[in-house]
C-alpha cells in the first residue's frame, strides 16, 4: 500500500525504526513525528500498529522503544549469527588474556558494524557498542576491513573528507593510504590513540572458506608502553576463528584483482 505522495507504508515504518538511536532508545510519539517528518496523527497510528505486532513497545510513561519481537526476528534470520557463534570461544579466550575490550566487526556500507563485544569493569574507554558503527578510517577493525575490501571502496573512502577524532587519527588521504599499505603488509592494524588518546586498538582479519576477509577481530587496551603484546594474541585468535570458518590457510593473504593499485 502506498500513500498519496507515493511513499509506501513500509517506507514510513522504516523511517520510524530509524528514528531511534543508541543514545535515545525511547521516544515520544511527538519526537518520532518530528524526526520522521510524519504528521503526528500518522506517526501515532503507525506506532500503535507496530506496537500491536510487537515490533515496538511502550514504557509505563508511554514512551516508545524497539520491541523484542523485532530483535527476535532479526536475530533468528541474521546471516551474522553463525559468525558470532563461531567467534565467541575465541573472543572469550582473548578477553581472558587482555582483560579489556574484545570485539567483532564486519563491513556494512562504508562503516564498520560491531556484532559482538566483551568488556570488563574498569576497562579502558571504548566508543564502540554492539550494533554500533564507526567510520572505517578510525578503528582498527575498520582499517582491516578497508585494507582487504574492494578497491572501489578504498577509492571512495579516500575521496571523502575524513573526520579527525584525535591528532593521531589518519584523517588525510595520504596518511590513510600509508596506513592501509602497512595493514596489508603486516597482516594487522595497530592504532594507538586513533579514536581516544587513552585507548589503543589492534585488529586482525577473519577469513571464510573462500579466503575472503569477512570480519575483523579487535582488542582495545590502554595506550601505554608494552601494548604491542596484544598483537600476537589477537592475530592467533583471528587465525583460529578463520580456520573454524573453513579458511584454507589463514596465514596466507588472498590477492584479489585491483588490490595492487587499491592504495
Give the whole-angstrom CA distance, residue 88 versus residue 70. Answer: 23
What pLDDT is attached to residue 260? 43
Q: Say whether both 41 and 123 belong to one domain.
A: no
Question: Binning pLDDT at 50, 70 and 90, where does residue 252 land?
Answer: low
Residue 139 scores a pLDDT above 50 = yes
| Total domains, the chain | 2
Residue 68 scores a pLDDT above 70 = yes
Q: Say whether both 86 and 207 belong to one domain.
A: yes
Q: Say whether both 215 and 87 belong to one domain.
A: yes
CB 27 within 8 A of CB 64: yes
pLDDT (tens digit per residue) in 85-103: 999 999 999 999 999 999 9
* Average confidence (pLDDT) over 98-127: 93
CA distances from 134 to 43, 105, 108, 129, 191 (A): 30, 10, 10, 10, 14
- Is residue 107, in this structure, part of any structural domain at all? yes
* Average confidence (pLDDT) over 131-141: 93
* Average confidence (pLDDT) over 149-175: 96
CATH of the domain at 17: 1.10.10.10
Would you state the cell numbers that stand for residue 160, as one nine-digit string?
571523502
Q: Say whether both 55 and 112 belong to one domain.
A: no
Q: Which of 24-38, 39-53, 69-83, 158-172 is predicted least confidently?
A: 69-83
Q: Say whether both 103 and 62 belong to one domain.
A: no
| Between 5 and 120, residue with greater pLDDT | 120
Q: Say whether both 106 and 192 belong to one domain.
A: yes
Q: Say whether both 82 and 211 belong to one domain.
A: yes
- Is residue 1, in this structure, part of any structural domain at all? no
Quick one: what percent of the chain has pLDDT higher than 70? Answer: 91
- Of 30, 56, 74, the residue at which a domain comes to its end is 74
Residue 251 scores a pLDDT above 70 = no
Give the whole-angstrom CA distance, residue 110 versus residue 93. Answer: 30
- Of 74, 90, 108, the residue at which a domain comes to its end is 74
Residue 118 scores a pLDDT above 90 = yes
What burial class does residue 150 get, using C-beta atoms within 10 Å of its C-beta: 0-12 exposed, 13-18 middle, 19+ buried?
Answer: middle
Q: Say whether both 117 and 197 belong to one domain.
A: yes
Q: Say whether both 84 and 164 belong to one domain.
A: yes
* Average confidence (pLDDT) over 61-84: 85
- Is residue 25, in this structure, part of any structural domain at all? yes
Give the whole-angstrom CA distance, residue 104 versus residue 35. Answer: 31
- Is residue 3, in this structure, part of any structural domain at all? no
- Of 55, 74, 93, the residue at which a domain comes to its end is 74
Q: List the beta bridge partners of residue 200.
A: 192, 221
Range of the domain at 229: 78-262
Would you state the cell numbers that stand for residue 263, as one nine-digit string?
592504495
Q: Say whether both 62 and 113 belong to one domain.
A: no
Amino acid at each position: 500500500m502506498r500513500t498519496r505522495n507515493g511513499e509506501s507504508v513500509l517506507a514510513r515504518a522504516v523511517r520510524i525504526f530509524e528514528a531511534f538511536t543508541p543514545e535515545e532508545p525511547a521516544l515520544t510519539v511527538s519526537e518520532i513525528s518530528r524526526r520522521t517528518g510524519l504528521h503526528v496523527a500518522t506517526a501515532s497510528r503507525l506506532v500503535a500498529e507496530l506496537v500491536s505486532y510487537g515490533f515496538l513497545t511502550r514504557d509505563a510513561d508511554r514512551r516508545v522503544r524497539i520491541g523484542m519481537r523485532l530483535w527476535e526476528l532479526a536475530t533468528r534470520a541474521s546471516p551474522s549469527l553463525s559468525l558470532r557463534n563461531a567467534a565467541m570461544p575465541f573472543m572469550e579466550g582473548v578477553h581472558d588474556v587482555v582483560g579489556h575490550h574484545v570485539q567483532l566487526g564486519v563491513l556494512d556500507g562504508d562503516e564498520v558494524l560491531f556484532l559482538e563485544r566483551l568488556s570488563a569493569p574498569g576497562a579502558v574507554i571504548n566508543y564502540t557498542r554492539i550494533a554500533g558503527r564507526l567510520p572505517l578510517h578510525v578503528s582498527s577493525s575498520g582499517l582491516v576491513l578497508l585494507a582487504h575490501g574492494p578497491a572501489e571502496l578504498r577509492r571512495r573512502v579516500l575521496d571523502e573528507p575524513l573526520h579527525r577524532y584525535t591528532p593521531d587519527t589518519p584523517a588525510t588521504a595520504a596518511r590513510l593510504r600509508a596506513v592501509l599499505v602497512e595493514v596489508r603488509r603486516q597482516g594487522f592494524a595497530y592504532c594507538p590513540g586513533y579514536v581516544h588518546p587513552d585507548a589503543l586498538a589492534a585488529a586482525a582479519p577473519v577469513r571464510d572458506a573462500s579466503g575472503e576477509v569477512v570480519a575483523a577481530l579487535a582488542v582495545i587496551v590502554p595506550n601505554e608502553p608494552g601494548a604491542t603484546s596484544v598483537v600476537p594474541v589477537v592475530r592467533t585468535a583471528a587465525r583460529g576463528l578463520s580456520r573454524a570458518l573453513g579458511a584454507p590457510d589463514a596465514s596466507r593473504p588472498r590477492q584479489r584483482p585491483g588490490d595492487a593499485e587499491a592504495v
